[in-house]
Amino acid sequence: MTRPARLDAAAAQALATSLPGWALAADGKSISRRFKFKDFDATMSYVNRLAAVANAHDHHPDLKLGYNYCEVLFTTHDAGGLTELDATCVRAAQQLADEPGAPSHEAPPMLKLYGFPVSNYTNMVELALLEKALPFEYVLTFPEQTPEFLARSPRGKVPFLGTPQGFINEADAILDYLEDVDQTKRLLPEDPQARATVRALMKEIELYIELPARSCFAEVFFGGKVPEAIKSKAREDLLAGFATLKRHARFAPYVAGETFTLADIVFLYSVDLAAAVGKQLFSLDLLVDIPAAQALLQRLGENPHVKTIAAKREAGLPAFVSAVRARLQGGS
């Protein structure tokens, strides 16, 4: 039997976009979804019906089952990625779950992401949502200190996430929540040691790279002035932070190894800004000794979701910079 040709990157992305809830793997070679059911009988009913469809097409998914869930992953192994046969079977798998009389499955909760596109932490959360193919509404929101705002975000910052149960603030807590509520596309390893390593890399990048760079944002990006003592400390911390990244990250090709994880999301939206601070403020190329990190930034930049977020950021950047500069000048 002749197998259909492999889908190109654009076609694979279009397939995932057309099927809410299905997540495209970071390498574009597979597509998956986790269906939740009310009980074991409903789960097995769906699996048996899916098996009949798979046999009819002579194309079988990888399945992972539990009491009330079924994870379905399609790829064409002998093509090395996704094909039209996968597209046909994915649509059939979704139709089985949606057709009248089928055992009910739980749709992912509608989430609301509150933030603005120039915020790198908002971008971290948005990329995780897009990679996981979770439905969400983007609510353009800027920090405030009003009582109404503080009731949703206690420090008055963004991002924060609206869920059916309430609000979650702080980007790392939001990323943990997304990982807990949706495991169709995991962004943290299941192995405890590997999971801890990813979390350590995320924390190192935030504490030793993003935060020192942030202390100088006012001067680098907004025309303000930063005290020399703060700049001196930032320079020292950034050099140590990038040395830590070089020692600990694997870049094989991703930060923690072969798989795209949350560490790559934090890396993407921290290291580029820090590198800009190093170059503009200290005449330092902080990535010169880490060519694998430069290669990863370029690789991640080709991700369609990253491109979408970057386009929104570029569109909103001029107005945001003008507003911050006016505020800084007003306070000087």
- pLDDT tens per residue across span 133-149: 888 889 999 999 999 99
**What one-character-per-residue DSSP string does 197-214 give?**
HHHHHHHHHIIIIIHHHH
* Among the listed residues 63, 62, 65, the one whose alpha carbon sits nearest the alpha carbon of residue 75: 62
pLDDT at 52: 94
**Radius of gyration of the chain, Cα coordinates, nearest whole angstrom:** 22
pLDDT at 241: 98
Determine the topology of domain 9-106 in CATH.
Gyrase A; domain 2 (3.30.1360)
Determine the topology of domain 192-301 in CATH.
Glutathione S-transferase Yfyf (Class Pi); Chain A, domain 2 (1.20.1050)
Whole-angstrom Cα distance, residue 83 to residue 75?
8
pLDDT at 116: 93
Backbone angles phi and psi of 269, in degrees to 5: -95, 15
pLDDT at 3: 64
**What is the bridge-based pairing of β-strands 111-115 and 136-140?**
parallel
The fourth-level CATH superfamily of domain 111-181 is Glutaredoxin (3.40.30.10)
pLDDT at 321: 81
| pTM reported for the whole predicted model | 0.74
pLDDT at 318: 85
Whole-angstrom Cα distance, residue 298 to residue 275?
14
pLDDT at 231: 97
pLDDT at 319: 83
**What one-character-per-residue DSSP string does 273-287 give?**
HHHHHHHHHH---TT
Q: Do 118 and 312 meet the contact criterion of CB atoms below 8 Å apart?
A: no
Q: What residue spans define the domains of the chain? A: 9-106, 111-181, 192-301
Q: Do 77 and 7 meet the contact criterion of CB atoms below 8 Å apart?
A: no
pLDDT at 53: 93
Residue segments in the chain with a per-residue pLDDT below the cut of 50: none
pLDDT at 105: 62
pLDDT at 331: 58
Q: Do 223 and 325 meet the contact criterion of CB atoms below 8 Å apart?
A: yes
User: What separation, in Å, do the N-terminal and C-terminal C-alpha atoms of the chain show?
Assistant: 74
- What is the sign, positive or negative, of the torsion defined by CA atoms of 197, 199, 202, 206? negative
| Alpha helix ranges (H) inside 159-303 | 171-181, 192-205, 211-214, 217-222, 228-248, 262-282, 291-301
> Three-state DSSP class for 222?
helix
